[in-house]
Chain A
Amino acid sequence: MAVDAFLEGLVVATSPEMLLWLTVGLLLGIILGALPGIGSPVGMAIVLPLTLPLEATAAIILLVAIYSGAMFGGSISAILINAPGTESAAATTLDGYPMSKNGLAKNALAIATTASALNGFLAAILLVVLSPVLIEVVLAFGSPEYFLLAILGISLITIVTQGSIVKGLVAGALGFMISTIGTAILSPRPRFTFGQFGLYEGIDFVAALIGMFAFAEMMKLAARDQISDDDVELAGSVRKGIMTIFKYPVTTIKSGLIGMGIGMIPGSGATTSTFVAYAEEARSSTKDGKFGEGDPRGVIAPEAANNPTVSGSLVPTLSFGIPGSGSTAVLLGGILMHGLQPGPVLFGDQLNITYALFISLFLGNVLILAVGLTLIPFASRITELDTNVIIPMVVVLSFAGAYTLNQNWWDVGAVIALGILGFYMVRNNYSIIAFVLGIVLGPIAEENFFRSLQISGGEYTIFVNPIDQPLSFLLSLAILAILLGPFVKGRAERMVSSS
């Protein structure tokens, strides 16, 4: 069955139509990723409603291509102007920008392109090889486990992103709460609509994604002038940059494995993986490393980790519906919007779509290498854009896109309201990813919560019964360990230090 699905996926992914969407997505992703303040989640959120007329596979391939392209694009502004286009490129600034200042901008960009594409390519192969194991794991999960996974995802996000756990939990619970507006899932009863017919279908999660990522980000960007204040000089050699990758094969492969491994953990994204890869490289190269002063390994490590993280993050997103970052939250939104269901269906009847996606990722990385290396001489142009030109266009696209979802003006209003909320949440260290995850997963969590209670006859012990539901019990334990672990550890450390 898996071989048939793979071959079917191969035919779909290599069809001219899919290759076109893949290329369009990659180019869009590279440009959006290179614009600080835009990045992949904003770009994907704006494009999401525009994919409505597309067939599901084409839409998902387009979104993944934007995500993958933005991972590389983010490094352009990180290296040239010290302002990462995406959060995941922040680690690249640490040595990428000093390389630019040392007259090696082209080398750094070539390193970023090659490391990103090469490891993305290898990770996509690994993903295809791993998928039979994934299928087995996914099929072992039932309603109680899916409900607990949603809680686990939010819990993980609260501790992966720095800040107070309570703030993260409030953000996640608020997302769940907002998702209950509209007609109830299990009975045709309108909830919290207060007589407004426009609210009967609830607040569309895509509108929430647009508000939280696009509108909130534009509010932040409004205070910024031109993206780059400095004149960017593109010096150095592309060829020497490519060769540098092959001088450090261990760094490249190790960082790729770190990226893919961390990407697979629900709740963690490329921001974590690139910093971990950078920190590990700095730790293991203490003798000859000049990290922070333009050491090429400081660019290889985060860039070799970022694209494998995309492949890794598809594992929890597609198998359990738990995204690891803003971008994968938008991707999950796209999957649900197009009627696909993460979990057993995507690894069962729709396995061909999953394989088509993996194969596109593989082809996408080949394209990144070709497009990326061609774009290097023009890279600095992207960073010269004026924010006042970007903002009104993003607002127009966001509003038109949000209205297109259901032809409902409440969705456009939600973009503004949630955008303002997102802006202040970010300013005060509340995780907007936890909030968005709550909104996206709310209906799935509620449905599985009630199915579980129906199975158990209303007994909440179904979530903690070690004999009948060992998997649920383990998940509940994991949630407790995640939420209380850091405090127990902190108290233990304080006790040891005081004694």
Chain B
Amino acid sequence: MSNTESTERNVTPERIMLVTFLVLSAVFIIEPVIADYPDDARVFPQLTASAVFIGSLLLLLQNYLPGPLYTFVAESVSITSSDESEVVEQAGDEEDLLDERDQKNGKDTLGSKYGYEVNETVFMVSTAVLYFVAGWAAGFLFVTPLYILGYTLWFRVNPVVGLGLAAAGTIVIYLFITYLVMPFDEGQIFDFSPLVPTLIDSTSLLLRGGA
């Protein structure tokens, strides 16, 4: 096995997560000392961060731990009896099979039609991040229909259903603006709120058939 392959095998999502926990907890331990927090603001975060740090370190190094400590760190325990565990495992296995089947059968997307394969979960997260950034910059009211339409089109949902959903999503955001007084028509960078009355007028005109 080459060094690259061995490194790839060692860098698992769980290990990345544990290293993140380690760094984060180290910050929570050191920052109160550097910034000179008073005792009542310092002790509790430092205690909890120490627990995270020690626990994450043990989990990261579990393969190198001596017998009893390894058992404590790595072994799965449960107070539920063996009979139930079997039943739980059986149901869990069925769910795993379902997940496995879903992962094998990739979804039919607009990308796959043109030869671009994008992992569904990655696509979902990326578009959600884009939606967040665009909503922050230009206001959710204007970005929501584009996001929903784009998402449903990518997964080749019936365009009429996609349009209906986009309209429903926009109405939900408009209700937030009207009843909860949320400034979803204003972005932090672009302010399109002066367009809202014109848009409402033209929508109602369109619904009345242009009469």
A-to-B contact residues, CB < 8 Å:
52-53, 82-84, 90-91, 93-94, 159-167, 169-170, 173-174, 176-177, 180, 184, 186-187, 189, 191-192, 215, 218-220, 222-225, 272, 275-276, 278-279, 282-283, 386, 388-389, 391-393, 395-397, 399-400, 403-404, 407, 409, 412-413, 416, 420-421, 423-425, 427-429, 438, 445-446, 449-450, 486-487, 490
Contact = CB atoms under 8 A, between A and B. Distances in A.
A170 B59 contact: yes
A415 to B, nearest CB: 8
Interface string B139-154: 0100010011001100
A93 B182 CA distance: 43
A486 B151 contact: no
A396 B44 contact: no
A290 to B, nearest CB: 15
Interface residues of B, number: 85
A225 B74 CA distance: 35
Contacts, number: 231
A49 B170 CA distance: 18
A471 B210 CA distance: 74
A170 B56 contact: yes
B45 interface: yes
B146 to A, nearest CB: 11
A192 B48 CA distance: 14
B41 A186 contact: yes
A398 B177 CA distance: 15
Contacts of B17: 421, 424-425, 428
Given A91-B87, A396-B169, A177 B148 contact: no
Given A223-B102, A389-B161, A490 B45 contact: no
Interface string B60-78: 0000000000011111111
B87 A404 contact: no
Interface in B153-196: 155, 157, 161, 165, 168-169, 172-173, 176, 179-180, 182-184, 188
14 contacts: A90-B91, A160-B80, A173-B49, A177-B28, A177-B45, A218-B124, A223-B121, A275-B80, A279-B81, A388-B151, A392-B147, A399-B131, A450-B40, A486-B79
B148 A487 contact: no
Contact of A276 (B40, B84, B180): B84
A395 B40 contact: no
Contact of A173 (B52, B120, B144, B184): B52
Contacts of A272: 80, 84
Contacts of A412: 132, 135-136
A278 B81 CA distance: 13
A390 to B, nearest CB: 10
A344 to B, nearest CB: 23
